[in-house]
Amino acid sequence: MTNNPTQSSQLPTLEFRVRSLTSATAGTKQQEVLDRLDQLEADGLIDEYTVLVWGKEFCPETASGTDHGRTVRDRLAELDEWAARTGLAVAPFFRFRTGHSELLDTTLGTVVHPTMMLAEYVGSELKHVSPCTDGETCHDIDDHLDAIANETARVPTAPGSRPQKVPAIMSELRDAKTSTAEVE
């Protein structure tokens, strides 16, 4: 952490989102990212970072009734807003599944989270997310951390080269649910 309040308010805050109960390989990669985050914080290049653990998948219709479920739902909506604002897509890094709930007698859709995701904030504004894609190139967490370490732009693209419409996580889930309901 930096002691200069003016500098601190300009430094990004990072939220490292990790999926719980991942494989040993994913756990090793998660630890590598945590080590890099520690180093960025020690070097004064970020204000701080937090870790948000989310499950393998999320069902908005059932999980939104809990505090943690509302947090995840709000994060997904925030990702969709960021993608619409920047023209960069994050939805391709999520998977969408549907299934019939015998208990509720309805079809439910779930969002399967990526193993890891990094969100960068300046103040309360979401500035960048990784992984993301500009439609041609995938920009992963290592690219994101390298850009912070080198104090360079997060996603180098030419103006106007980004897609005008990007898929949204929640609409992809609705589409998957709708296509399943049509088949039944």
The pLDDT value recorded for residue 179 is: 58
Nearest Cα residue to 78 out of 129, 154, 33, 151: 129
pLDDT of the residue at 107: 86
- pLDDT digit string, tens, across residues 71-123: 888 988 999 999 988 889 898 898 888 888 888 888 888 888 899 999 999 99
pTM of the model: 0.79
pLDDT level of residue 157 (50, 70, 90 thresholds): very low
